[in-house]
Amino acid sequence: MDSDHRVSCVLPAYNEAASLGDTVERWAAALGRCTREYEIIVVDDGSEDGTAVVLRALADRYDRLRVVTHGTNLGYGAAIVNGFAHAALPLVFFTDADGQYEPDDIRLLLNAIPSADLAVGYRRRRADPRLRCMLSRGYNFLARRLLGLTLRDLNCAFKLMRRETADRLRPESTGFSVNAELVANAQSAGMRIVEIPVRHQPRHAGRSTVRPFHVVLSLYGLARLRLRRRAVSVRQRGVDACSGTSESAFQ
């Protein structure tokens, strides 16, 4: 332990029975090295494999592990938001349960958070199949154009913030577009976002649960975010116009 940070680490999990044991072990070790206090919150998002059985065994071994269970699959974003709602410590962080990120890299985000509202990782060398990398680049391009975002790796699941920041951002997306919404909300609120390169490695167990229809849902999520932001902008202009009229009437 070499810092005074207290961190709630949220791991959304869907059908990750094969990888969870190693992932929880590595994160418990890394958080033990770089925080004063931590908890790991695994949100089992309606898994249909042996994830629940694995989590029961892990809970017996790790006293800082908390398990939140969804009876049905509610979506990646819903799992993150529900994990945040159960967080008890001042800093909240989330990453994937598949073990592709290097846990010790959270130290880089912890070093940055005192001067930032949101510390986010970007994969300096992504270790995914070529097709998935191409789809991700296309998604990032569309998100930047539709939402005016500037981050280089929107879907990098390696983000740290204070609990009060998480409460302010309040994402509504239940699917994979939650990452884009978090960043969009932070950017709209004028928050300071810091990007930090992190390591990414191939899966060592299990397989990705991302399917082609998730791509369609993610694009639909971006379109909804775009429409929602435009509606908010129109309402704000209306409020500003009414305020201006009211003030001029009394001058």
Distances (CA, A) of 146 to 119, 135, 164, 227: 23, 16, 27, 10
Predicted confidence (pLDDT) per residue in 84-104, tens digit: 999 999 999 999 999 999 999
For residues 193 and 210, which has the higher predicted lDDT (pLDDT)?
A: 193
For residues 94 and 219, which has the higher predicted lDDT (pLDDT)?
A: 94
The answer to the question of residue 230 being in a domain is no
pLDDT score of 250: 32
With 0.75 as the threshold, say if the pTM is over it: yes
The answer to whether the CB of 86 falls within 8 A of the CB of 2 is: no
Phi and psi at residue 178, in whole multiples of 5°?
-60, -35
Predicted confidence (pLDDT) per residue in 226-238, tens digit: 666 665 554 555 5
Percent of the chain predicted with pLDDT > 90: 59
The answer to the question of residue 149 being in a domain is yes
- What are the b/e assignments for 105-123, b being 16+ CB within 10 Å? bbbbbbebbeebbbbbbbb
Domain boundaries, position 31: 6-221
pLDDT at 128 over 70: no
The answer to the question of residue 232 being in a domain is no
The answer to the question of residue 243 being in a domain is no
The answer to the question of residue 185 being in a domain is yes
The answer to the question of residue 111 being in a domain is yes
CATH assignment at residue 122: 3.90.550.10
Nearest CA among 203, 211, 224 for reference residue 135 = 211
The answer to the question of residue 41 being in a domain is yes
CA distance 171 to 78: 9
The answer to the question of residue 173 being in a domain is yes
Instruction: State the average pLDDT for the chain.
Output: 85
pLDDT score of 248: 41
CA distance 245 to 251: 10
Count of domains forming the chain: 1
